[in-house]
Amino acid sequence: MITKKLFSISLTLMALLALLIVNPAVAAEKKVKAGTENGIVASMQKININQAEAKALTNLKGIGKDRAVKIIEYREKNGPFEKIEDIMKVNGIGKKIFEQNKNLLSV
């Protein structure tokens, strides 16, 4: 009985660990502190625009599925972004979107 429970717990922990290791979007993100509208500091994740998958990129303001794909296509064609401002070289991403997200981006 106890052996079955320990085995079940072990399998669950291994599955969770595998999800964290396999998911590159989680590995590519770094913690950063960002202020909220009411002044309370919240924990947010920085997104590495050279490594993040489309799903992670869609967490950015103004970045939907189509723009996320454009970011990935741009870096595949032109190589990695050298600085976060280079994201504005992607068609459809201008200064406004960059300004909304600059504190959440990393390279």
pLDDT tens per residue across span 21-67: 655 544 444 444 444 443 333 446 799 999 999 999 999 999 999 99
In the sheet with 105-106, reading across from the earlier edge strand, the strands are 29-35, 41-48, 105-106
Taking the C-alpha atoms of residue 100 and residue 19, their distance in angstroms, rounded to an integer, is: 30
CA dist 88 → 11, 18, 63, 77, 96 (Å): 44, 35, 12, 15, 10
Q: For a pLDDT cut of 70, what percent of the chain falls above it? A: 62
Number of compact structural domains in the chain: 1
The whole domain housing 71 covers: 2-106
pLDDT higher than threshold 90 for residue 103? yes
- Residue 45: predicted pLDDT: 75
- Residue 32: predicted pLDDT: 42
Q: What is the mean pLDDT of residues 79-85?
A: 97
